[in-house]
Copies of this chain bind each other. A is one copy, B any other.
Amino acid sequence: MPIQYEPPVRSMRFILDHVVDFDAEVAALPGCEDVSAEFGEELLSMAGRFCAQQLLPLNQSGDRQGATLADGKVTTADGFADAYHAFVEGGWGALSGEPDYEGQGLPRAFQIMLDEMVSSANMSFGLFPGLTRGASEALAEHGSEELKAKYLPKLTTGEWCGAMALTEAHAGTDLGLLRTKAVPVGDGSYKVTGTKIFISSGDQDFGNNIIHLVLARLPDAAPGVKGISLFLVPKLMTDDDGNVTGENGVSAAALEHKMGIHAQPTCVMNYDDATGWLIGEPGRGLNAMFTMMNAERLYVGIQGLGVAEIAVQNAVAYAHERLQGRGPDGTGPAPIINHADVRRMILMGRSFVEPARALAAWTAIRMDVAARHPDDATRAAANADVAILTPVVKAAFTDMGFETAVNAQQVFGGHGYIWEAGMEQFVRDARITQIYEGTNGVQAMDLVTRKVTMAGGAPLASYLGRIEADLGEGASELEASLLPAARAALASLRKASAAVQADTSIDAMGSAAVNYLRLFAIASMGWMWVRMAAASLEHGDEATKTRNLALANFYAAHILPQAGALEAAIAAGPDPVMALPADLF
C-alpha cells in the first residue's frame, strides 16, 4: 500500500470559519480586505494538490537516495530541483511575503496551512522554502534599504534560496561561544571566515543563488553573545540586476549523516574570506537572527503537525485494510480498525492533530493582527500572544508529532518497521523537529524564563483569561466530560504558572520547564477542543458533529487528565531534579 495523502482542506475551512473566526478577525485588517475563508479554501485546495502530486512522490525516493556531495557542491535527490522550480513558479514561495518586494501579502493562517501540507508531503523539501522565508523575513525587518533592494525580491519569491548559519561544533545552544570572524574590507563589505555545522539547505543544485545569514564576530567584538553580528553572505556574487558575476568563498565541506530528512542537504559549511554585508547593528546579530528563528520555530512546530497528519492518515488507511482477528459481529478476519487498542493509537494522534491545527491558525491570526492592526495596544497584545505560543507550538507540536508518528507506525505492526511501508521514515524525519531550531528543552526554558514572566505576567494572565472565558457553561454534550476536564486542566495550569512565577531560580525554572510547557499545550488544546466541539454542535453536519464530539471526548478522557500528573511534578519543585550530585548520575 503506497503512502497516501488527502490534504485536510475541509478541516482547515471548518477551523477558519467556526473556530478562529477568520473572516471577522483577518478580513478586517488593513491589506486583507480581499481575503476570506472561502478564498483560502480555494487556494489551499490548489496547494494541497501540488503537495500531494508533486512533493509526496519524491518523499520516499528522496529518503533512499539522499543528497550527495562532490567537490564542494551538493546534488539533491532526483526530482527535487524540478519540484522546487515548480513550487516557485506556482507562487507558493511568495504567499505571505511582503507585497513591496514581490510577495503576495496573504495572511499567515494560509501560510501555516500551506506549511503543514508541504511538511506532510515532504519534510526534507519543505526546509528549502521554509528557510528561504525565514531569511527574507529577517532581512525585511533588519536589513538596509540597499540590501533589501538587491536581495529581498528574489528571496521573497523563492527565486533565490535562504539558509541560516548559526551553529558551530562547540557552540550549539550556547551561541556566545561561536568563533566565526568578519573583517571589514573598507567598502562597506566584510570578509567572513569560519566553519558552521548543521546548515539546512546550505547548498543544493537548483541553479540559483543561496543567501546565507551568518552569525560572526567583528575584530573588536565583545566576548559572548553581545559580540555577535549578522551578515548576509551570498553563495554567488551578483550585480544589481541579479546577474551572476562570480563565486563567493562559500562551500559545503561535508554532508551530515543523519537519522532522517535524508533528502535535505544538512551541510558543514566553510566560509573562507567570503564577502558579506552586515544586517542590522554590530553586536545585535542575535536580535536580528531571532526574527528568523521565531519564524522557523513556528515552522518547525508545523512540521511536527504535518508529519503527524500524514502518519495518522496512513494508519487509518492501513487499519481499514489490514484483516486480523474478529470484528464486532464475531466473524473474522476483520479490519483492525475494529480493535479498541488500534483505535486508541489512532485517536491519540487524531485528537492532537485537529486542535493543534486550530491553535496554529489562532496563533497565525495573532501574527497578522500584530503586524497589521491599526491600534498599538491591540498589536502589542497580539505580539505577546505570539511570543508566548511560539515555544509552545514548536516544542509541543513536535513532541506530540513524533509520538503520533510512533503510534501510527505501531498500527502497522512489523510492517511498520520496514522501509517500504514508509511509516518508519515519518518517525526518523519527525525526530529532528524536536531538536533543531533550539531543542525542545530550550523552548521550554524560553517559555518559563521569559514568556511567563514578561510584563509582570500580564500577557500570560490575559491568555489564561481568554481560555477561561471559553470554558463557561456549555451544552450538555460538553458538560458531560470535555468541559469539566478542560477546566481541571486550566486549574492545573494556573497553579503551575503561579509556581514557576514564584520561584525564578534557574534550577526551579529548569526543573519545571518541559513539564510546564507540556501542561500549557495540553490545556491550550483542550481549549481548542471546546471551541471546536461547540462549533460542531452549532454549525457542523451530522458527520462533523459525531466526529468532533467523539474526538473531543477521547481527548477529555485520555489526554486532559495528564495535566494533574504534570502539575504534581512541577509542584515537587527543583529538589528531585537537582539533589543528585553530578558524579553519581
Q: A320 — which chain B residues lie within 8 A by C-beta?
A: 582
B-contacting residues, A396-425, CB 8 Å: 402, 406, 409-410, 413-420, 424
* Complex CA distance for A415 and B561, rounded to whole angstroms: 35
Q: Are B417 and A341 in contact (CB under 8 A)?
A: no
Tell me, yes or no, whether A455 is within 8 Å of chain B by CB.
no
Give the nearest-CB partner of A261 in chain B: B417
Interface size class of chain A, counting residues whose CB lies under 8 Å from the partner chain: 35 or more
Of the listed residues A337, A343, A574, A581, the one surrounded by the most CB atoms of chain B closer than 10 A to its CB is A343
Q: Are A332 and B173 in contact (CB under 8 A)?
A: no
Q: Are B259 and A428 in contact (CB under 8 A)?
A: yes
Q: Are B198 and A577 in contact (CB under 8 A)?
A: no
Tell me, yes or no, whether A49 is within 8 Å of chain B by CB.
no
Q: Are B416 and A344 in contact (CB under 8 A)?
A: no
With beta carbons under 8 angstroms apart, the residue of B342, B546, B584 that contacts A580 is B546
With beta carbons under 8 angstroms apart, the residue of B173, B259, B561 that contacts A419 is B259
Distance from A297 Cβ to chain B, minimum over Cβ atoms (Å): 15
Known: A340-B506, A576-B554, A577-B340. A435 touches B410 (CB 8 A): yes
Known: A174-B324, A347-B577, A576-B556. A340 touches B435 (CB 8 A): no
Tell me, yes or no, whether A31 is within 8 Å of chain B by CB.
no
Q: Are B553 and A575 in contact (CB under 8 A)?
A: yes
Q: Are B259 and A344 in contact (CB under 8 A)?
A: no
Q: A256 — which chain B residues lie within 8 A by C-beta?
A: 417-418
Known: A511-B340, A577-B343, A580-B550. A435 touches B414 (CB 8 A): yes
Q: Are A576 and B553 in contact (CB under 8 A)?
A: yes
Distance from A403 Cβ to chain B, minimum over Cβ atoms (Å): 10
Q: Are B414 and A436 in contact (CB under 8 A)?
A: yes
* Complex CA distance for A165 and B172, rounded to whole angstroms: 47
Q: A572 — which chain B residues lie within 8 A by C-beta?
A: 481, 557-558
Q: A506 — which chain B residues lie within 8 A by C-beta?
A: 340
Q: Are A568 and B557 in contact (CB under 8 A)?
A: yes
Q: Are B435 and A413 in contact (CB under 8 A)?
A: yes
Tell me, yes or no, whether A323 is within 8 Å of chain B by CB.
yes
Q: Are B324 and A414 in contact (CB under 8 A)?
A: no
Distance from A499 Cβ to chain B, minimum over Cβ atoms (Å): 13
Q: A428 — which chain B residues lie within 8 A by C-beta?
A: 259, 428
Tell me, yes or no, whether A150 is within 8 Å of chain B by CB.
no
Q: Are A582 and B338 in contact (CB under 8 A)?
A: yes
B-contacting residues, A75-123, CB 8 Å: none
Q: A481 — which chain B residues lie within 8 A by C-beta?
A: 572, 576
With beta carbons under 8 angstroms apart, the residue of B427, B445, B543 that contacts A259 is B427
Give the nearest-CB partner of A581 in chain B: B546
Q: A197 — which chain B residues lie within 8 A by C-beta?
A: 414
Q: Are B550 and A561 in contact (CB under 8 A)?
A: no
Tell me, yes or no, whether A303 is within 8 Å of chain B by CB.
no
* Complex CA distance for A543 and B167, rounded to whole angstroms: 38
Distance from A311 Cβ to chain B, minimum over Cβ atoms (Å): 13
* Complex CA distance for A571 and B565, rounded to whole angstroms: 16
* Complex CA distance for A357 and B418, rounded to whole angstroms: 30
Q: Are A417 and B431 in contact (CB under 8 A)?
A: yes
* Complex CA distance for A256 and B413, rounded to whole angstroms: 14
Known: A550-B580, A553-B575, A557-B568. A413 touches B343 (CB 8 A): no
With beta carbons under 8 angstroms apart, the residue of B316, B402, B577 that contacts A585 is B316
Distance from A363 Cβ to chain B, minimum over Cβ atoms (Å): 24
Q: A174 — which chain B residues lie within 8 A by C-beta?
A: 323-325, 332-333
Q: Are A177 and B333 in contact (CB under 8 A)?
A: yes
Q: Are A439 and B417 in contact (CB under 8 A)?
A: no
Tell me, yes or no, whether A371 is within 8 Å of chain B by CB.
no
Q: A342 — which chain B residues lie within 8 A by C-beta?
A: 441
Distance from A584 Cβ to chain B, minimum over Cβ atoms (Å): 4
Tell me, yes or no, whether A8 is within 8 Å of chain B by CB.
no
B-contacting residues, A357-383, CB 8 Å: none
* Complex CA distance for A337 and B510, rounded to whole angstroms: 12
Q: A565 — which chain B residues lie within 8 A by C-beta?
A: 561-565
List, sorted by A's number, 6 A–B pairs whose CB atoms are closer than 8 Å: A402-B406, A410-B441, A481-B572, A558-B576, A564-B568, A565-B565
Further contacts, 12 of them, CB under 8 A, given A256-B418, A258-B418, A414-B435: A177-B324, A259-B428, A340-B507, A340-B510, A341-B445, A341-B513, A344-B577, A414-B436, A417-B432, A546-B581, A554-B576, A561-B565
